[in-house]
Amino acid sequence: MWFCPLDGTLLQVRHVEHSAEQEPSGHFYCVTCPYSCPIKSTVARKTFPFRKAIDDILGGAEAWDNVDRTKENCPKCNHSEAYFMQIQIRSADEPMSVFYKCVNCGHQWNEK
């Protein structure tokens, strides 16, 4: 999307027809001011949006500092002990979700 550099309005496209030997061209134009610029057939630059950092729903690495241990087999290394925490992530009438982290390999999983 292109925006007018003068007032920030979304630019519209106007196609200009030429004779048979010329290629059709177009212009970006602003509906609120006289700004106009030709549409170039080549891309001058590419810009890619930056992804926002996602918050860890469990609270990051610090959330596992003061949690309890339980007897639970790790699905990755089959170790028999894991840290666990319970978090209410659904509505209040749903049961709490239990999250585990293996004491041995650090693999994380949850009870489904």
Residue 80 has pLDDT above 90, yes or no: yes
Residue 60 has pLDDT above 80, yes or no: no
The answer on whether 4 is annotated among ligand-binding residues is: no
Average pLDDT score over the chain: 83
Give whole-number Cα distances, 23 to 26, 40, 41, 47, in Å: 10, 12, 10, 27
Give residue 51's pLDDT: 79
- Confidence at residue 48, expressed as pLDDT on a 0 to 100 scale: 79
Amino acid at 52: K
Three-state SS string over 35-83 comes to CEEECCCCCCCCCCCCCCCCCCCCCCHHHHCCCEEEECCCCCCCCCEEE
Q: Is 77 annotated as a binding residue?
A: yes
* Mean of pLDDT values over 62-88: 90
Residue 72: other Cβ atoms inside 10 A = 19
| Residue 37 known to bind ligand | no
CATH 3.30.470.20 for domain 61-110, yes or no, is no
- pLDDT tens digits for range 2-28: 889 899 899 998 877 665 556 657 888
Domain boundaries, the chain: 1-48, 61-110
- Determine the pLDDT at residue 71: 95
Enter the tokens of residue 64: 């596992």
